[in-house]
Amino acid sequence: MLRALFTVSLAGVVSCGTQHGTHDTQGELVLSSRTQPEEIPGYTLGGPEVAPAPITLEELGLIKKSLLFTAEDEKYLRISRGVLEPHVEELVGVWYGFVGANPHLLASFSSDAGEVDSAYLERVRARFERWVLDTASAEYDQDWLDYQFEIGRRHHRVGKNETDNARAEDHVKFRYIQALTIPVTTTLRPFLEKGGHSTEEVEKMHAAWVKSVTLQAILWSYPYVKDGDF
Ligand code: HEM
């Protein structure tokens, strides 16, 4: 039963809204650079409802500098986009499998009584797939920066559950967000090998992903940090 929740296709997600996504012959949504933000429920990157980031792009640059994130990392992230795009559903399926296998993580998608909110899982899954492509596109401009703080709020009690009207625990613990950077980037590695690139190039793509996910986990920590301490 739970397994089914974690392998649910995007078809159900796109049939409940007014989306005009690209569909393959099975009628499933194919996420690509042509997918427009408004086609994914709750995905608001670049939208007017997203609050401005509390740090500037220059300050973002200093975090990048502190974790050795360079133009070369941007280049290898962009190469990874073409490698990952055909496998993005499978990749996110692996991550969902990890969450589903860990009750302390699955609790974030469940009510206090332990009932999993499957509609919530499906809607977040579509945005998660889009996140893979956004991360790999490496266009870390003002809209992207603003949206990182929105993603942070969506994990914290200040904003969790609101986007999807979910019936689930109201807060993701800070400790697990940092911890999940490891399984997310470790399980990504075999997918980076699927593009026929050399071991050295795969290594560079992987290193760039580790830095980007670390960077984003730092930005998402904002609502968890005492005012003035971020
Ligand atoms: C490196 C670690 C993590 C990554 C990369 C990640 C990624 C994401 C992404 C991309 C979204 C959708 C953002 C959007 O709305 O556009 C999301 C939402 C969510 N994530 Fe995470 N996440 C991480 C850690 C965690 C952890 C540890 C949990 C706890 C199980 C968790 C639970 C959730 C939940 C419940 C939502 C939906 C929040 C809401 O809008 O109500 N995440 N995450």
pLDDT tens-digit readout, 63-85: 999 999 999 999 999 999 999 99
Summarize pLDDT for 171-188 with one digit per residue, the tens.
Answer: 999 999 999 999 999 999
- Rounded to whole angstroms, how far apart are CA atoms 134 and 144? 8
The residue whose CA has the least distance to atom 18 of ligand 1 is 124
- Tell me, using a 6 A CB cutoff, whether residue 99 lines ligand 1: yes
Backbone dihedral region of 138: left (phi > 0), alpha (psi from -120 to 50 degrees) or beta? left
Which residue has the least CA distance to atom 42 on ligand 1?
Answer: 177
- pLDDT bracket for residue 36 (50, 70, 90): low
Residue 154 domain-assigned (yes or no):
yes
The CATH number that applies at residue 85 is 1.10.490.10
What pLDDT is attached to residue 187?
98
**19: pLDDT confidence band, cut at 50, 70 and 90?**
very low
In total, how many domains does the chain have?
1
133 touches ligand 1 (CB under 6 Å): no
How far apart, in whole angstroms, are the C-alpha atoms of residue 176 and residue 97? 16
- Per-residue confidence (pLDDT) for residue 10, from 0 to 100: 29
Domain that holds residue 57: 2-224
198 C-alpha to center of ligand 1: Å?
31
Q: Which of 104, 128, 163 to mutate to test the pocket of ligand 1 (most atoms within 8 A of CB)?
A: 128
Strands (E), the chain: none
Does a structural domain hold residue 229? no
Q: How far is residue 222's CA from residue 153's CA, in Å, rounded to a whole number? A: 8
* Residue 156 alpha carbon to ligand 1 centre in Å: 10
What are the CA-CA distances from residue 89 to residues 10, 54, 57, 139, 207 (Å)?
9, 32, 31, 22, 22
